[in-house]
Amino acid sequence: MYDEIFKKIEFYNQNKQVIHKEILEKINKAFDIDFTYNSTTIEGNTLSLIETKAVLEDNIAIGGKSLREIYEVTNNNEAFNYVKNAIQKNENLNEEKIKDIHEIVTKNIFQGGIYRSTDIAISGASFTPPTPNDMYNQLKFFYNDLEENNKKMNPIELSAWTHAEFVRIHPFPDGNGRTARLIMNYQLMQKGLLPINIKVEDRLDYYNTLDKYAVQKDIIPFMNFIANIEEKRIDEINLVIKQQMSSDNI
């Protein structure tokens, strides 16, 4: 279904070494800032992209912003670094990793890594997450399926399912969306694909495709949503590779 994407990522993996180190570092740093900005803004954070960059890159305090918003930004960036380090160690995503990621996401805000004990509602969603008793049962299946699906699903399907099913269950009192986008990228990166950035301007399509999965268990729209973003990201990086190849051959 996504053969073209896998061909493009194969080209990337075979030729990424031609990108000059300083250029690659600049690309990765820009992505990290953009990812944190969009992931926190989707959840209501009011820091602009420039303010997010100032906090993460320059350690500049932003006047008029709450400590919570600052922590959301710094925590998301720290959690993404945690994900990247875990992948470098070739560690599979599991319950312990997800709890650790959530604990970093909510550091200095509330104690993370602890499942909710009350009912919860998602504003604007067509579904209601399971009650705590049902949630614990569904989490057992989720973690079992996580291990099995890691063996049989292609990377895009795996990342889409991991994100969508996690959000449907909504196991934590807050921070589920940010955690879901981090574990989605965990799955993509561990399988050799590039991490993706779901932009705030695309959140309506994002919410609708997740809603369709939660209500109808139809993962295809969300898979395609992720695939389109992944392909655009690969195309951008491959263009840099091709330009570098052309420049080096002059």
- Active-site annotation holds for 170: yes
Q: Which of 20, 102, 163, 170 is catalytic?
A: 170
What are 130's two structure tokens? 């399971």
Sign of the alpha-carbon torsion through 179, 80, 234, 149: negative
CB atoms inside a 10 Å sphere around CB 124 = 8
Query: CA 157, CA 193: separation in Å to the nearest integer?
Result: 12
What are 154's two structure tokens? 């292609």
Identify which of 190, 157, 198 has the alpha carbon closest to the alpha carbon of residue 42: 198
Task: Give the amino acid at 47.
Answer: L
Cβ atoms 222, 212 nearer than 8 A: yes
Task: Give the amino acid at 10.
Answer: E
Is residue 43 classed exposed, middle or buried when 0-12, 13-18 and 19+ CB atoms within 10 A define those classes?
Answer: middle
Query: CA 160, CA 165: separation in Å to the nearest integer?
Result: 8
Q: Which residues are catalytic?
A: 170
